[in-house]
Structures are given as C-alpha cells and as structure tokens.
Amino acid sequence: MTMTNRKILSAIGELFTTFGSAVAASRAVEAGRKPRAGDLRKLGVDPAVFNRIGRF
C-alpha cells in the first residue's frame, strides 16, 4: 500500500468518525441529554461553551 492510499483511507476513516460524532451528539440533544465531550470536541465545539447554551 502506498503512502497516498494510506492518506486516502485515513481521510475516509476520519470522515466516518466525524459523522459518527455528529450523529451521537444530535441524538443526545434530541433525547434531552448532554452530548459527550469527546463528540463535541471532534466537531469543533468547546464542551464548556456548549454547557452554557440554554433551552429555547
């Protein structure tokens, strides 16, 4: 496997991981729960800032 193939496969894996975090976070919010900090960080959201968001 060449280096280029590894980079492509790594990028695809990262895409699936990010998508999984987005799904997990959205399901937690829909269920009225706080998303996991790791999922929020993966999505570029600071968990401390997210905790300050109030309900509307």
Question: Do residues 36 and 24 lie in contact, with contact meaning Cβ atoms separated by under 8 Å?
Answer: yes
Between 32 and 1, name the one with better pLDDT: 32
pLDDT at 1: 58
Question: Do residues 35 and 50 lie in contact, with contact meaning Cβ atoms separated by under 8 Å?
Answer: yes
pLDDT at 26: 96
User: What average pLDDT does range 4-30 have in this prediction?
Assistant: 95
User: What average pLDDT does range 13-23 have in this prediction?
Assistant: 97
pLDDT at 54: 79
Question: Do residues 27 and 44 lie in contact, with contact meaning Cβ atoms separated by under 8 Å?
Answer: no
pLDDT > 90? residue 18: yes
User: What average pLDDT does range 23-41 have in this prediction?
Assistant: 96
**Cβ neighbourhood burial of 4 (10 Å; 0-12, 13-18, 19+):** exposed
